[in-house]
Chains A and B, each alone.
Chain A
Amino acid sequence: MDTISRRRFLQLVGAGAAGAAATRLSVADIVFAGQTRPLPTGTPILVVVTLYGGNDGLNTVIPYADPIYKQSRPGIFVDDSHLIPLDAELALNGAMTGFKSLWDNQNLAIIRGVGYPDPVLSHFSSMAIWQSAFPTSLTNSGWIGRWLDTQKHDPMNAIGLGSVLPPLLAGVHSVGSVLPLGGLVVPDRASAFALHRLGLPDSSDGPLQAAAAASISDFLNLGKNVTPILKKPAPTPDILPTQGGGSFGSDSSLTQQLDVVAKLIAANAPTKVWAVSLGGFDTHADEVKAQSSLLGTVSQAVTRFIGQMHGSNRQNDVVVLVYSEFGRRVKANGTQGTDHGTAGPVFVIGNGVDGGKFYGDEPSLSKLVDGNLAVTTDFRDIYAAMLEDVLKVQAGQVIPGWSSKLPLMLKG
């Protein structure tokens, strides 16, 4: 299988389209607009980084000056030689050298004590709450998906990297696209001809069959557009240092995912939201080495990505949001790890971010709620800033009834 020319592809589509030609061709035209009408410089782009498993916030942004910190965590506190002080009270995990440089450049905002009322300590319930932005009632839609619902349908609007759709990209009417790490390959002529017609809607389709058909047509449309871009080398990081740190041979898939995102952004893809992820943060046992390796990966991958944006002239457009479903218990457990907890830090990164400072109060280690940190900042205040000051929609359109937000962006 190989790329076919745009002209040839249009011929195939035209040949097969018959009755439904107008609609389908217009979708193809929207997709091709990625190249003919590139995303204008200055259009904000949000990159959402999900850390699955519940990242231990206390060993990420560390209250190193508080004696209760070390007392609570014999054997698993981060010792003084492995931390990077940000001020007299808080330090970054020593693996996060890249984040320190972003902080020094005032491009990194740290929001402390983030969570939601009545925290749930289940991975799945808590992640569902973060991805849906509905803490009190179950909903099947994700917050980025509901943002998609406010936009004109375009499979390029929001893209997740991986093999499964992340719930945050599922809207009520629209869903984001999923791009495999290896990229997309346009199928041979005979297959493309058949698939194009198989991807047409049929009046007998139920919702799932309609979604299956749409995935076929989106595959053809997106594949044609994305393939040539992914064949290019990744943009070279510029300006910011890309120090390593902590990732001793660890999972590099976050770097790969962000490399793909960087290539597509550099190619002016008309995509406004990207979703990437890294798992492995559920550190019930032997936490210290595993977590610092993961944090090193996050720090290095995101810092490299920000450097690539400088090289692509998108440095003022891109905002990166890094979150996990919960923080972990203050006290260590008996297996050199920590159990599920509540509040944790969130990172927001970019040139347009009012960074190099903290937002939200640091939860007190002496005033715990059932052994857990008290939530000081509602995560929806961060989402609202991303929606209103990055994606330019009213927060209430996506999170009904929500209007408060943190002043995270310089041009709020």
Chain B
Amino acid sequence: MANADRVEIARLIHRFGFGPKPGEYAQLVGAGLKAARQQVLTPPSTDTGLLKVANPTLTDLGPFPPQKSAAANTFEAARSQQILALQLWWLDRMALADHGLNERLTWFWHGHWATAIGKVEYALPMYIQNQLLRSTALLNFRDQARAMITDSALLYWLDGDSNVAGSPNENLAREFMELFTLGVGAYSESDVQQIARALTGYNTVRSAGTSSFNIKRHDNSLLTFLGTSGKFDAPAISDYLTTLPTNQDFITRRLWCRFISSTDSIIESGISSAFATRDILPLAQAIGTSAAMSNPLHSQSKSPVEWFISVCRALGVTPSALQHNANVIHFLSTMGQVPFDPPNVGGWPTDEAWLNISSMQARLAFSKYIISQVKLDSLANLPKTDVRIQYLGDLLGVASWSTRTKSVFRTALGDPAQLILIAINAPEYVVNA
């Protein structure tokens, strides 16, 4: 197997999934590039790995009780418990899915529609949004956007839940165009103001994760924007915007940025046409089989969640089963990325932003926490030679180790825990080559 194919297969399994389970990378390499593409980019009808993950029990907790009241402590304990259950549930799904594509695209869409529980405060609305993103992750973007524009958590996050005719606020209107459908510069300030009027009249029950439309508070006047005029409600706005050619180009670029390169924005011709109908799976497949996948320049850093989940998958770890599992969220927080809590509506940064002293320190401590809890028998049963180095590359989906990293491995060949520590902190693993 040419090294170039090993690199491309490692990219496939890390970018269109969350890294290999034991044996998976060697199997894909053995099957060859063509078969590997087919396997990684085709979702199965059922995923037996996911059958092991039960949905969390989340209830409508109702409004916050008065501060310092007797009920406040009970409420806060239940709220925190539900948020932790939600976060671990999703991490478990990422780690246990046999096939990573659908969870990986759900993760992508979460970063795209970046809604933060720091403001939403309840697990239930975030769960409902997450299931919406999951059920549409590989299907049609127009359907996804139409559902998202009245999603309870998103409405609350962008102040779209109290917008009334006469004096709307522009937050949802602007971000819906700038970040979710068209991209910055594809609209004017007048378009923002017109669309903000169409988005009036929506309300949410935040703790329940529901939304409703009150036509009396809706501005139903004639609006003119982006080459059209008429009367619009929120779903009609979404439908119009997602039909525009700019939308086809913008969403293609968003996927390109996260799956190929955050710096090289020159997209191969033909890629965006795969998104003509706004079906997401063909676009993901076009990107995953593009020539850019073998371009040596297109390496990408693993974000903290991507790094953690890929370690879990290789080592057979179920995140929620780790000791004091709230520590998982704590470590992810010190690395700067907690699921359901992006820093702002732009989502998480890429590449160099994750390669700093602060994340390095957190990664090291996190590594030790994980390694102390796993059995390393398969590694320990191998001879204490370079066989172990080869094994680690196949286990973790690293195409090749550098001379530098091999020399570090050779200082610890007899110590399986130390070998894993070196491997998962090596530049070749932290960065998908």
In the complex, the answer to whether A194 meets B421 with C-beta atoms within 8 Å is yes
- Residues of chain A within 8 A (CB-CB) of B356 are 164-165, 175, 177-178, 215
- Selecting from A196-204, A228-236, A252-260, the interface stretch reads A196-204
Q: Give Cα distance in the complex from A9 to B157, angstroms.
A: 48
Q: Considering the complex, which residues of chain B in the window 354-384 have a beta carbon less than 8 Å from any beta carbon of chain A?
A: 354-362, 364, 368
- B349's nearest neighbour on chain A, judged by CB, is A164
B376: min CB distance to chain A, Å: 16
B414: min CB distance to chain A, Å: 12
Specify which of A165, A195, A208, A333 lies most central, judged by the most chain B CB atoms within 10 Å of its CB. A208
Is A184 at the interface (CB under 8 A from chain B)? yes
B363: min CB distance to chain A, Å: 9
Is A410 at the interface (CB under 8 A from chain B)? no
In the complex, the answer to whether A163 meets B357 with C-beta atoms within 8 Å is no
In the complex, the answer to whether B357 meets A334 with C-beta atoms within 8 Å is no
Q: Give Cα distance in the complex from A57 to B343, angstroms.
A: 23
Q: Which of A155, A201, A370 contacts B189 (CB 8 A)?
A: A370
- Residues of chain A within 8 A (CB-CB) of B166 are 334
Q: Give Cα distance in the complex from A198 to B418, angstroms.
A: 13
Is B341 at the interface (CB under 8 A from chain A)? no
Is B121 at the interface (CB under 8 A from chain A)? no
Specify which of A125, A203, A216 lies most central, judged by the most chain B CB atoms within 10 Å of its CB. A216
In the complex, the answer to whether B357 meets A208 with C-beta atoms within 8 Å is no
In the complex, the answer to whether B427 meets A209 with C-beta atoms within 8 Å is yes
- Residues of chain B within 8 A (CB-CB) of A378 are none
B66: min CB distance to chain A, Å: 15
Given A178-B356, A194-B421, A334–B170 Cβ distance below 8 Å?
Answer: no
- B169's nearest neighbour on chain A, judged by CB, is A333
Q: Give Cα distance in the complex from A119 to B343, angstroms.
A: 24
In the complex, the answer to whether A208 meets B358 with C-beta atoms within 8 Å is no
Given A120-B184, A190-B418, A333–B358 Cβ distance below 8 Å?
Answer: no
Interface string of B398-416 (1 = CB under 8 A from A): 0010111101100110000
Is B171 at the interface (CB under 8 A from chain A)? yes
Q: Considering the complex, which residues of chain A in the window 204-226 have a beta carbon less than 8 Å from any beta carbon of chain B?
A: 204-216, 218-219, 222-223
B216: min CB distance to chain A, Å: 14
Given A165-B352, A335-B162, A202–B174 Cβ distance below 8 Å?
Answer: no
Is B344 at the interface (CB under 8 A from chain A)? yes
- Residues of chain B within 8 A (CB-CB) of A205 are 402, 427
Q: Give Cα distance in the complex from A52 to B345, angstroms.
A: 12
Q: Which of B168, B355, B404 contacts A202 (CB 8 A)?
A: B404
Is B167 at the interface (CB under 8 A from chain A)? yes
Is A339 at the interface (CB under 8 A from chain B)? yes
A255: min CB distance to chain B, Å: 19
Is B26 at the interface (CB under 8 A from chain A)? no
- Residues of chain B within 8 A (CB-CB) of A52 are 344
Q: Which of A179, A198, A204, A334 contacts B169 (CB 8 A)?
A: A334
Given A165-B352, A219-B361, A209–B299 Cβ distance below 8 Å?
Answer: yes
Is A10 at the interface (CB under 8 A from chain B)? no
Q: Which of A121, A185, A202, A206 contacts B405 (CB 8 A)?
A: A202
Q: Give Cα distance in the complex from A223 to B364, angstroms.
A: 13
Given A197-B404, A211-B352, A121–B297 Cβ distance below 8 Å?
Answer: no
Specify which of A52, A122, A175, A222 lies most central, judged by the most chain B CB atoms within 10 Å of its CB. A122
B143: min CB distance to chain A, Å: 26
In the complex, the answer to whether A333 meets B357 with C-beta atoms within 8 Å is no
Q: Considering the complex, which residues of chain B in the window 318-334 have a beta carbon less than 8 Å from any beta carbon of chain A?
A: 333-334
- Residues of chain B within 8 A (CB-CB) of A103 are none
Q: Which of B184, B361, B408 contacts A180 (CB 8 A)?
A: B361
Q: Which of A121, A140, A204 contacts B403 (CB 8 A)?
A: A204
Q: Give Cα distance in the complex from A212 to B357, angstroms.
A: 9
Tally of B interface residues using CB under 8 Å: 66
Q: Considering the complex, which residues of chain A in the window 333-354 have a beta carbon less than 8 Å from any beta carbon of chain B?
A: 333-335, 337, 339-340
In the complex, the answer to whether B358 meets A162 with C-beta atoms within 8 Å is yes
- Residues of chain B within 8 A (CB-CB) of A202 are 402-405, 427
A288: min CB distance to chain B, Å: 15
B27: min CB distance to chain A, Å: 26
Given A121-B174, A170-B352, A284-B169, A337–B336 Cβ distance below 8 Å?
Answer: no
In the complex, the answer to whether A122 meets B162 with C-beta atoms within 8 Å is no
Q: Give Cα distance in the complex from A284 to B185, angstroms.
A: 21
In the complex, the answer to whether B362 meets A180 with C-beta atoms within 8 Å is yes
- Residues of chain B within 8 A (CB-CB) of A190 are 418
B142: min CB distance to chain A, Å: 24
- Residues of chain A within 8 A (CB-CB) of B178 are 122, 124
- Residues of chain B within 8 A (CB-CB) of A334 are 163-164, 166-169
Is B300 at the interface (CB under 8 A from chain A)? yes
- Residues of chain B within 8 A (CB-CB) of A195 are 364, 425
Supply 28 A–B pairs (Cβ within 8 Å), ascending by A.
A124-B179, A140-B263, A164-B353, A165-B353, A177-B356, A177-B357, A180-B361, A185-B361, A191-B364, A194-B418, A194-B421, A195-B425, A197-B407, A198-B425, A198-B426, A202-B403, A204-B400, A206-B431, A209-B402, A209-B427, A209-B433, A211-B352, A215-B357, A218-B357, A222-B357, A333-B168, A339-B169, A340-B170
- Please give me the 9 A-B residue pairs with the lowest Cβ-Cβ distance, nearest first: A334-B167, A163-B336, A212-B427, A202-B404, A333-B169, A202-B402, A178-B356, A209-B427, A180-B358
Interface residues of A (CB under 8 A from B): 52-53, 120-125, 140, 155, 162-165, 170, 175, 177-180, 182, 184-185, 187, 190-191, 193-195, 197-198, 200-216, 218-219, 222-223, 279, 282, 284-285, 332-335, 337, 339-340, 370
Interface residues of B (CB under 8 A from A): 158-159, 162-164, 166-171, 174, 178-179, 184-185, 189, 192, 263, 296-297, 299-301, 333-336, 343-346, 349, 351-362, 364, 368, 400, 402-405, 407-408, 411-412, 418, 421-422, 425-428, 430-431, 433
